[in-house]
């Protein structure tokens, strides 16, 4: 009697413990039938105790618990191990929807008899899993964003003088993930000319807590090239004291170089504008001089002759005939001067017949003036181009020939005008001394700047490459129609000696 009462008390005690546990708990016998379920199990899975006790666990809830991974735990893993923790199971339940659970199992033998019982605790981690997934997604987004923006993070522990780097910061440093340099080692990554400014900046922030935003020259591991980096830092306090510095680290080399190129471009454009204004004034002065010296003299002589004819209207002597003949000659000379001046400004051939005949005309004049032999190849012969593009190519050819005559010391030139399915190309090659890269890129080379601006305004590209003692090649491309310009065109001028 006493023994039976003791067992009853023990059962009640055990059931009280089971019902007190917050997590859903289910007790199974060795045949995997339900012995008992906790109140939290019934509430969570929306079942009644009387509908579960004595049932095979896989039959619970109209076989909702017939879960392959649960079978694996109870029938394969647990017989080999008396305990198992954090066994992850995902399943769709008809009553509560899809759930992610951690199963913790304990297998024990009863005091009386050899029967086994299994305690199965179920932890619902669905919401936690969602938060973990969202956190992982955000962390991956942060990593991807940092990689695209080339921005990493860092932290300096002032007690250990150890620097921690994020994945992207490590990538910028050129080191493996997890590398933790000392402060002294980290400083060695910076270019010698930037180290004094870096040390002074860190010292000021450590002493005053003032944040900083500075740009430094940096040398990644395994590289000899210097790159520009931007470092932002701030102090981290604990107990009223600065214990750490933390901040971001960004590779801004492309931005800095683009900024420098933009500054150079702006300066070159200002120089070119000044040069063009000066050249325009010289051209105006030249035209004014020719008009005054040639047309002015012709018109003055015509005026004198007209005055004589007016004063001698009935004269039929030889002087009258000679005067009329002289006037005709003066008029012809005036017409020729006007045509020459107009042709110098813009040859009619360019508008009337197109680019190829206009280039052939200036090449003939170039040969006659300089004695330099020239060869022209046009493919196809009857090409037609937009007026703006044709003008740009004509002026580039004109400027190139002028430069060859002045500076190249060449004896031969080779000009190709070629229209392809996607672009038109003009190449001028000489066998002179060869332009240097410095000369080709100089902001003071106004003629070259003018050529570049003309081609770029048509959406094209121009390359000027020289080799010492071999010659210079000027190669310009303009895409046809509405195609984009060709900054990545891989075709390089073939710098060879002319035959």
User: What's the Cα-to-Cα distance from 466 to each of 450, 493, 497, rounded to whole Å?
Assistant: 18, 9, 11
What is the pTM for the complete model shown? 0.44
Candidates 486, 499, 496, 442; CA nearest to 466 is 496
User: Do 2-124 and 150-251 have matching folds?
Assistant: yes
Whole-angstrom Cα distance, residue 203 to residue 198? Answer: 9
DSSP secondary structure of 402-439: HHIIIII--SEEEEEEEE-SSEEEEEEEE-SS---HHH
Assign domain 150-251 one CATH number from 3.30.1330.200, 3.30.450.20, 2.40.10.220, 3.20.20.150: 3.30.450.20
Whole-angstrom Cα distance, residue 248 to residue 172? Answer: 12
Taking phi over 0 as left and psi of -120 to 50 as alpha, with beta for the rest, 239 belongs to left
Task: State pLDDT tens for residues 135-161.
Answer: 777 767 666 666 676 788 899 999 999
402, HSE (Cβ side, Cα atoms, 13 Å): 10
Structure tokens at 435: 């332009």
Residue ranges per domain, the chain?
A: 2-124, 150-251, 256-345, 350-479
Task: State pLDDT tens for residues 245-293.
Answer: 999 988 998 888 888 888 877 777 777 676 666 666 666 666 666 665 6
Q: What is the pLDDT along the chain (499 residues), one digit of tens a residue?
A: 444 444 444 455 456 566 666 789 988 888 899 988 888 888 888 888 888 889 998 888 778 888 888 888 888 877 888 888 888 888 888 888 889 989 888 888 755 555 788 888 998 888 888 888 887 777 676 666 666 767 888 999 999 999 999 888 898 999 998 899 999 999 999 999 999 999 999 999 999 999 999 999 999 998 989 999 999 999 999 989 999 999 998 899 888 888 888 887 777 777 767 666 666 666 666 666 666 566 666 666 676 767 766 667 666 667 766 767 777 777 777 776 666 666 666 667 677 788 888 889 888 988 988 999 999 998 887 778 888 888 888 889 988 898 898 888 889 999 999 988 888 999 999 998 888 888 887 767 777 878 888 888 888 999 988 888 889 999 999 998 644 333 334 444 445 555 5
Q: Topology of 2-124 in CATH? A: Beta-Lactamase (3.30.450)
Structure tokens at 325: 């003949």
| Number of Cβ within a 10 Å radius of residue 416 | 15
Structure tokens at 238: 């604990």
Segment 91-95 long-range contacts (CB within 8 Å, at least 24 positions apart) = 91/64, 91/67, 93/45, 93/61, 93/64, 94/61, 94/62, 94/64, 95/45, 95/46, 95/61, 95/64
Candidates 473, 462, 461; CA nearest to 497 is 473
Candidates 55, 3, 4, 48; CA nearest to 27 is 55
Candidates 419, 420, 413; CA nearest to 474 is 413
Maximum CA pair distance of the chain?
A: 171
The mean pLDDT of the chain is 81
User: What's the Cα-to-Cα distance from 420 to each of 380, 451, 473, 477, 480, rounded to whole Å?
Assistant: 9, 21, 19, 10, 9
Cis peptide before 67 (omega within 30 of 0): no
User: What's the Cα-to-Cα distance from 235 to each of 147, 159, 189, 244, 264, rounded to whole Å?
Assistant: 25, 13, 22, 6, 38
Domain 350-479, second-level architecture: 2-Layer Sandwich (3.30)
- The strand order across the sheet containing 34-37 reads 34-37, 25-29, 116-124, 97-109, 83-93
DSSP secondary structure of 148-176: HHTEEEEEEETTTTEEEE-HHHHHHHT--
Whole-angstrom Cα distance, residue 266 to residue 58? Answer: 78
Candidates 68, 64, 60; CA nearest to 87 is 68
């Amino acid at each position: 009697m006493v023994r039976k009462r003791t067992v009853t008390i023990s059962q009640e005690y055990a059931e009280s413990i089971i019902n007190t546990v917050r997590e859903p708990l289910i007790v199974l016998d060795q045949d995997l039938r339900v012995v008992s379920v906790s109140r939290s199990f019934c509430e969570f899975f929306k079942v009644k105790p009387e509908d579960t006790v004595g049932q095979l666990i896989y039959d619970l809830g109209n076989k909702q618990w017939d879960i392959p991974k649960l079978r694996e735990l109870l029938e394969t893993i647990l017989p080999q191990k008396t305990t198992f923790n954090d066994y992850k199971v995902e399943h769709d339940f008809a009553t509560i929807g899809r759930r992610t659970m951690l199963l913790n199992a304990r297998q024990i033998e009863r005091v009386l008899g050899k029967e086994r019982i299994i305690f199965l605790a179920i932890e619902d981690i669905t919401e936690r899993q969602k938060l973990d997934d969202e956190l992982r997604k955000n962390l991956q987004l942060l990593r991807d964003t940092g990689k695209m923006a080339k921005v990493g993070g860092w932290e300096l522990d002032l007690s250990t003088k150890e620097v921690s780097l994020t994945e992207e910061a490590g990538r910028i440093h050129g080191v493996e993930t997890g590398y933790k340099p000392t402060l002294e080692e980290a400083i060695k990554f910076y270019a010698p000319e930037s180290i004094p400014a870096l040390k002074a900046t860190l010292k000021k922030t450590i002493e005053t807590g003032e944040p900083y935003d500075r740009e430094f020259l940096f040398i990644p591991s395994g590289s000899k090239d210097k790159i520009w980096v931007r470092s932002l830092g701030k102090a981290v306090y604990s107990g009223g004291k600065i214990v750490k510095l933390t901040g971001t680290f960004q590779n801004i080399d492309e931005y800095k170089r683009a900024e420098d190129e933009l500054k150079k471009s702006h300066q070159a454009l200002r120089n070119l504008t000044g040069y063009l204004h000066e050249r325009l004034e010289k051209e105006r002065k030249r035209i004014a001089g020719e008009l005054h010296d040639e047309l002015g003299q012709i018109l003055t002589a015509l005026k004198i002759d007209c005055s004589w004819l007016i004063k001698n209207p009935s004269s039929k002597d030889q002087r009258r005939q000679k005067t009329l003949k002289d006037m005709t000659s003066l008029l012809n000379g005036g017409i020729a001067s006007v045509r020459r001046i107009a042709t110098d400004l813009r040859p009619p051939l360019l508008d009337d017949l197109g680019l190829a005949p206009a280039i052939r005309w200036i090449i003939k004049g170039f040969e006659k003036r300089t004695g330099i032999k020239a060869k022209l190849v046009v493919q196809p012969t009857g090409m037609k181009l937009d007026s703006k593009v044709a003008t740009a190519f004509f002026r580039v050819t004109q400027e190139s020939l002028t430069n060859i005559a002045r500076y190249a010391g060449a004896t031969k030139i080779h000009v190709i005008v070629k229209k392809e399915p996607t672009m038109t190309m003009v190449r001028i090659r000489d066998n002179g001394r060869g332009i240097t890269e410095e000369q080709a890129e100089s902001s003071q080379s106004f003629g070259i700047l003018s050529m570049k601006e003309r081609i770029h305004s048509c959406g094209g590209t121009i390359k000027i490459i020289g080799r010492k003692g071999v010659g210079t090649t000027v190669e310009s491309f303009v895409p046809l129609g509405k195609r984009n310009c060709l900054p990545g065109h891989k075709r390089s001028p073939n710098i060879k000696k002319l035959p």
